[in-house]
Structure 1
Amino acid sequence: MTRGPFMQLSKEFHQYRKLEQLVENKTSYQLEHAELHIFETHEVAEKISLKFDAPVLATMMQGKKIMQLNEGKSFNFLPSESLLLLPETPMLIDFPEASFQNPTRCLAMTISEEKIKEILQLINERFKSREENEWLMSRINFHFKHDYALQQVLQHILLIFTEDHPTKDLFLDFALKELLIRILQHEKKAQYEKGEQAIYSNNRVAFIMQYIQQHLDEPLDIKTLSQKVYMSESHFHRVFKNEVGISPIEYLIEKRISKARNLLQNPEIPIKEVYLACGFNNISYFNRQFKRKNHCSPKTFRNQFL
């Protein structure tokens, strides 16, 4: 599969940044409530250590890193992915593909604790319903992939920092609110999908996410799902989207397509059996949804594994 799209840097960045070293060259920007650092590596390197003394959002812009956190298992870090890291988290980084023509680029942004607390208080006071738990920042390192909306927010923040504009702090204030809400939604979604009994037995959104994953091959719609958690259709739709960031039906399609990708890797399973096992009742609708999520047809996807 192709990697996510590269994030674009402003003309001002390329005009004024100084290339002083080939491994983890750092260009920094500072605004009132946040700092942003762009790291560039122009040659293959191994076991580069890095650590921040504050919570940091690290986002891959271009290229590939192999990351190891807290002496744990290594993993690939690719464009359209981010890491939310706790302070003092030790990182060991390899750059297997970096070159002068195609550097590896990553941004690292820190946000003041006061600003984070202010935004969380706003969210909990104005948007949290009785069904939702209080929104809190992560107490663990969190690796996640972007959806389209989060990718656009991060692109906007990157341009705010790197362009020359007199109202940058005001623009950033608005963008940080959206950024934190979308990250919290990604984290809640990941927590609920783990299926921990203590979570989904006491939370209706977590329960229904587990129900969806366990019944992907069955006919499911908003009416059926809302009845399972004793909520009206409109209220269920609003609460689910507030917590997870996407609608219940979009989440259902996402999980069905994910299951289809796994099944398509086995060439012995006919495509008709694949889409029926994933809850799709006709091939044309399955093809449309698969292409929308993967930018290729099910047949093209399967051919990668033949």
Structure 2
Amino acid sequence: MPIKSYLTKINLTHPKQLQTLVENRRVFNMQNCELNVFETYQNAYHIPLTFNDLVITSMVRGKKMMHLYDEPAFEYLPGETLIVPANKSMVIDFPEADMQNPTQCIALAIDASYVKQTMNFMNSYYNTETDNHEWTLQFSQYHFSNDNEISDIINKLIRVCSSGELAKDIFADLAMKELLIRLVQSQYLKRISAEKDSNNNQGKAHFILHYIQEHLTEKIAVDALSRQVYLSRNVFFKWFKEQFGITPLDYINSERVKLAKQLLADSSNSVSSVSMQCGFSDVNYFIRLFRKLEGITPKAYKDCIMYTRQ
């Protein structure tokens, strides 16, 4: 997965305007959504929070511990997003919050009819006779690491909802639709990627991800991929982006970096040998790409792995 992409920090509430030190709330109401900005300035535990609509939350600063879906508590950190269905309770701990290190997150509550309308749009536009499946948000996968595109959309929503623009409802609607589509595509990619080995003959999506995995260490051209599923290059590129929300090259590179991380954990593998084993002909390109996706260089990543083993 790509490195977490952090949201642009939102100005904190002036101390004189704070109503409470735990989950102080600012609300921006739109036609089809409600943007909430929550801030906490002291340690607190077992704080319940429930919304009447689907909510998409993203951490901006600080750390929370989330209790959700009857699963073990987990850290919720900047650069991460959660989706929670309507009327589902979250219980939140703030173990590190104080006046110098407050937590801040946004919660975007979206009207159910708008979510349904967007899913209907996806099911009518993104389905074909050969790739027909139901597009819907799956709450079994609710925890996301934001990539650049998701962060850009959320940042846009924050700017629009907190602005005084006359057309902000229109701009917010467009951004919300894009955000929902990106999240559903991300879920679909993860599901198909997990199924690709056992169901590689089930359809084009399973087959092509399985094919990429089988040839990950080789040169993979988009033309070659398109021929595998009997599509023209342009049609294949468009189909892949519509299904998964990213380009074929972006997917190939992310999978190669995943493989590289496994290989770098072996002390006998050098950065240059890992680059070659992962299908990169240019080690400098590999280093730049690894740093873009993981935030550090392959050498620094390898050093971190070796240090933790000491």
TM superposition score normalised by structure 2: 0.87
Aligned to 2:78: 79
Aligned to 1:135: 135
Aligned to 2:206: 206
Aligned to 2:61: 62
Aligned to 1:296: 296
- Partners in 1 of 2:104 and 2:186 — Cα distance? 23
Q: Quote the offset at 1:141 in angstroms.
A: 4.8
CA gap 1:54/1:199 in 2 versus in 1, 3 angstroms = farther
Q: Structure 2: which amino acid aligns with 1:38?
A: V
- Consecutive unaligned residues in structure 2, runs of 5 or more: none
Q: Quote the offset at 1:295 in angstroms.
A: 3.8
* Structure 1 residue ranges (4+ consecutive) displaced by more than 4 angstroms after TM superposition: 13-17, 196-200
Q: Is residue 194 of structure 1 aligned with residue 162 of structure 2?
A: no
Q: Secondary structure at the match of 1:258?
A: helix
Q: Secondary structure at the match of 1:304?
A: helix
Q: Secondary structure at the match of 2:58?
A: strand
Aligned to 2:89: 90
Aligned to 2:105: 106
Q: Structure 2: which amino acid aligns with 1:40?
A: E
- Partners in 2 of 1:102 and 1:115 — Cα distance? 36
Q: Structure 1: which amino acid aligns with 2:31?
A: E
Aligned to 1:150: 150
Q: Quote the offset at 1:290 in angstroms.
A: 1.6
- Partners in 2 of 1:126 and 1:3 — Cα distance? 30
Q: Quote the offset at 1:196 in angstroms.
A: 6.5
- Partners in 2 of 1:221 and 1:31 — Cα distance? 45
Q: Quote the offset at 1:194 in angstroms.
A: 1.9
Map 1:177-256 → 2, pairs under 5 A: 177-195=177-195, 201-256=201-256
CA gap 1:111/1:251 in 2 versus in 1, 3 angstroms = same
Map 1:23-42 → 2, pairs under 5 A: 23-42=22-41
CA gap 1:118/1:83 in 2 versus in 1, 3 angstroms = same
Q: Secondary structure at the match of 2:195?
A: coil
Q: Quote the offset at 1:157 in angstroms.
A: 0.5
- Partners in 1 of 2:98 and 2:129 — Cα distance? 52
- Partners in 2 of 1:171 and 1:223 — Cα distance? 37
The answer on whether the counterparts of 1:153 and 1:175 sit within 8 Å (CA) in structure 2 is yes
Aligned to 1:163: 163
Aligned to 1:49: 48
Aligned to 2:10: 9
- Partners in 1 of 2:270 and 2:197 — Cα distance? 35
Q: Quote the offset at 1:239 in angstroms.
A: 0.6
Q: Quote the offset at 1:16 in angstroms.
A: 11
Q: Please say which of residues 174-183 and 266-275 is displaced more in the overlay.
A: 266-275
Q: Quote the offset at 1:225 in angstroms.
A: 2.2
Q: Secondary structure at the match of 1:28?
A: strand
Q: Quote the offset at 1:154 in angstroms.
A: 0.4
- Partners in 2 of 1:143 and 1:108 — Cα distance? 14
Aligned to 1:269: 269
Q: Please say which of residues 25-34 and 246-255 is displaced more in the overlay.
A: 25-34
Q: Secondary structure at the match of 1:58?
A: strand
Q: Quote the offset at 1:294 in angstroms.
A: 2.9
The answer on whether the counterparts of 2:153 and 2:179 sit within 8 Å (CA) in structure 1 is yes
Aligned residues: percent identity?
Answer: 31
Q: Structure 2: which amino acid aligns with 1:94?
A: D
The answer on whether the counterparts of 2:6 and 2:146 sit within 8 Å (CA) in structure 1 is no
Q: Secondary structure at the match of 1:76?
A: strand
Q: Structure 2: which amino acid aligns with 1:270?
A: S
Deviations 1:107-160 (A, max 9, x none): 111111211222233333344443443422335351111211111110011112
Q: Quote the offset at 1:89 in angstroms.
A: 2.6
- Partners in 1 of 2:249 and 2:270 — Cα distance? 26
- Partners in 2 of 1:175 and 1:73 — Cα distance? 33
- Partners in 2 of 1:150 and 1:180 — Cα distance? 10
- When the two chains are superposed, the root-mean-square deviation of aligned CA atoms in Å is 2.6
CA gap 1:16/1:121 in 2 versus in 1, 3 angstroms = farther
- Partners in 2 of 1:120 and 1:72 — Cα distance? 27
Higher relative contact order (CA 8 A, sep 6+): 2
Q: Please say which of residues 206-215 and 94-103 is displaced more in the overlay.
A: 206-215
- Partners in 1 of 2:178 and 2:119 — Cα distance? 11
CA gap 1:76/1:166 in 2 versus in 1, 3 angstroms = same
